[in-house]
Structure 1
Amino acid sequence: MSFSTVLMTVFSTTLIYAAPLIFTALGGAFSEHSGIVNVGLEGMMIVGAFSSTVFNLFCAKIFGAATPWISLLIGAVFGLLFSLLHAVATINFRADHIISGTVLNMLAPALCVFLTRIFYNGKGQTPIIDQSMGTFTFPGLSKIPLLGKMLFTHTSLVAYLAIIVGIIGWYFLYRTNIGLRLRSVGENPVAADTLGINVAEYRYLGVLISGFLGGIGGAVMAQSITLNFSVSTISGQGFMSLAAMIFGKWNPLGATAAAIFFGLAQSLPIIGGYVPFLAHVNSVWFQIAPYAITIVVLVIFLGKAVAPAADGQNYIKSK
């Protein structure tokens, strides 16, 4: 295998695995900038993966090749609806953010597998979808010497869309009035309230955006990687996204770059067989690597990264 083909395999596989992590990490950044810790990203991804897969299976004959893209929106909507539980619990009832998110992570797989058994005659997983995202070759760009083959040939179109969303997310948070208000309620909700900013409203906005993007992340995982839904469709990707957000210092651009790094870690079991110096390494190490790297990153960077000042603090409006 030529060197350029190896590079194409590494980059395309990395982007495919990074796409769901990018969307979900961005969602986590929005939530935490509003002051709501969201460890329930895993649960939101599970709901997004389940709902998008069911829609794909039922509607593939109607929408054809557009089905997986419409499925992303379906996953996003259900992820948003599921995140309402976290918003109500933490904002209205002032529940502990970690406990609320943990409940979501426990509820989502149980609920979705239960519904899967109801919809598919007692089976614990759905059938394989017929319409998946597959890979995409960019016309024109793929002709660029070396870079064209590496970055724009048989790659993930949705990954590039995720990167664009990351750039838009950075602009939204740091260059718009709404983004400034959203960040203000996560830094100093008392001061924001004094200025007439509705703290609860903006915290709802942050959590709902995280559910929307987390649902897309789960849908991307199901539509482009696993191609069905089962209890193992989302197996730690939500926590990897959370680690990517912390690694990226809660900045959408940093979270995007960190998610690509974690995408590379997740793709190791596949690309290991194509890279000469990794070909003889036991595949078990590649399967362990993403989770080990997540732990190491959190241990090294959690103490150094500074979260929004009021992140995780319930706000009680003074009378």
Structure 2
Amino acid sequence: MQDFLTLAFLFSAITSATPLLFAAMGGLFSERSGVINIALEGLMLAGAFTAAVITFQTGDPYLGLMCGIGAGVITALIYAVAVIHFEADQVVAGMAINFLMLGLPALISGVIYDSTGSTPQIDQAHKIPILFGGLSYVSVLALLVVPVAWYVLYQTPFGLRLRAVGENPEAADAAGINVVRLRYVAVLISGVLAAIGGAFLSTGQSSLFTRGMSAGRGFIALAALILAKWRPIPVLFACLFFGFTEAITIQIQGASWAKIGDEPIPVQFIEMIPYVLTIIVLAGFIGLSRAPKALGKPYRKEL
């Protein structure tokens, strides 16, 4: 138990929560505008793959991060055009982006590196730098994003308009707010933030991109949003909760007491813990959450 009460464990939990927090805050902006963002998983993969490739090729993690953000924005724009302009079903379009980003990086990696499973290992000196205690500046940035998002959503005209569009786009339009433009901006913001989370996975937590390395974190980020009722500060605590569960699984895997009888607990069962908790949380709290009223509803301006 003492292993779970150390500063190193706390930093490990924050590091594990970092990609979740970026993805969840991105989803917060998108869903507050009325656009369901099931595509968070795909946006993270786009950022992770691009950042890993550029960092490996150039040795510059900052350039890799910026290119990862660019890939996230492009992917988010494709999704936004599909669901906002062409009014495609948001859940179906989001899943299509996720499937695309499961296969496309493997295809490109096979062409460039002759390996569809992963990109080459990034030199440790070229990874995102560590500041202190195992925390990188990206983890610190993730914690700072939360109060910034709160301020933007609740203390600025942009945030007021964004929330209005997510609740009642017809009334917002009548008040002179450009609903379509705001939704585009919100989805692109989600692309930026989710891609940062993905880039951190491949160049911060890890040192390469592996196929499907987001491992459902985009969906866990959505679960955090629901649990937090689409509010920034509770989103932080929800993501930290899931980060702690992931850190616990890492600790358990290396623990001598993690046995059933004389046999060690299979790793697969230990790795299931965050996903089982996600299901339990959703089953217990989804009925208590009130989503933005216009969430998932396309808006067509009346002529």
Same fold (TM over 0.5): yes
Contact between 2:12 and 2:134, CA under 8 Å: does it hold in 1?
Answer: no
2-structure distance, mates of 1:311, 1:84 = 18
Give the deviation of 1:6 after TM superposition.
4.9
- Which residue is equivalent to 1:116? 109
* Deviation digits for residues 44-63 of structure 1 (CA, Å, limit 9, x no counterpart): 00000000000101110xxx
The one of 274, 281, 294 equivalent to 1:297 is 281
Give the deviation of 1:123 after TM superposition.
4.3
The one of 191, 198, 219 equivalent to 2:171 is 191
* Deviation digits for residues 261-286 of structure 1 (CA, Å, limit 9, x no counterpart): 11111222322257787688724432
- Which residue is equivalent to 2:58? 59
The one of 163, 170, 181 equivalent to 1:201 is 181
1-structure distance, mates of 2:144, 2:29 = 16
- Which residue is equivalent to 2:128? 133
1-structure distance, mates of 2:142, 2:47 = 16
1-structure distance, mates of 2:252, 2:9 = 9
Contact between 2:20 and 2:239, CA under 8 Å: does it hold in 1?
Answer: yes
Contact between 2:4 and 2:248, CA under 8 Å: does it hold in 1?
Answer: no
Contact between 1:249 and 1:306, CA under 8 Å: does it hold in 2?
Answer: yes
- Which residue is equivalent to 1:93? 86
The one of 237, 240, 244 equivalent to 1:264 is 244
Give the deviation of 1:4 after TM superposition.
8.2
Give the deviation of 1:121 after TM superposition.
2.1
1-structure distance, mates of 2:7, 2:253 = 14
> How many residues are paired up?
297
SS in structure 2 at match of 1:302: helix
* Deviation digits for residues 186-236 of structure 1 (CA, Å, limit 9, x no counterpart): 000000000110000000011000011111110011112231112131111
Query: RMSD value over aligned CA atoms?
Result: 2.0
193-202 vs 258-267, greater mean Cα deviation = 258-267
- Which residue is equivalent to 2:64? 71
Does residue 227 (structure 1) correspond to residue 207 (structure 2)? The answer is: yes
189-198 vs 219-228, greater mean Cα deviation = 219-228
* Deviation digits for residues 54-93 of structure 1 (CA, Å, limit 9, x no counterpart): 0101110xxxxxx223322221121011011111111111
Give the deviation of 1:290 after TM superposition.
0.9
Give the deviation of 1:17 after TM superposition.
0.8
Contact between 2:225 and 2:235, CA under 8 Å: does it hold in 1?
Answer: yes
The one of 259, 284, 287 equivalent to 2:271 is 287
SS in structure 1 at match of 2:293: coil
1-structure distance, mates of 2:4, 2:158 = 45
Letter in 1 for 2:227: F
The one of 310, 313, 318 equivalent to 2:294 is 310
Question: Is there any run of 5+ residues in structure 2 with no aligned partner, and where?
Answer: none
Give the deviation of 1:94 after TM superposition.
0.7
1:250 and 1:275, CA in 2 relative to 1: closer, same or farther beyond 3 A? farther
1:12 and 1:279, CA in 2 relative to 1: closer, same or farther beyond 3 A? farther
- Which residue is equivalent to 2:41? 42
- Which residue is equivalent to 1:147? none
Does residue 215 (structure 1) correspond to residue 208 (structure 2)? The answer is: no
1:5 and 1:284, CA in 2 relative to 1: closer, same or farther beyond 3 A? closer
SS in structure 2 at match of 1:110: helix
Question: Is there any run of 5+ residues in structure 1 with no aligned partner, and where?
Answer: 61-66, 138-152
1-structure distance, mates of 2:128, 2:110 = 25
TM-score, normalized by length of structure 2? 0.92
- Which residue is equivalent to 1:9? 8
Does residue 163 (structure 1) correspond to residue 156 (structure 2)? The answer is: no
1-structure distance, mates of 2:295, 2:226 = 13
- Which residue is equivalent to 1:150? none
TM-score, normalized by length of structure 1? 0.88
Equivalent pairs: percent with the same residue?
38
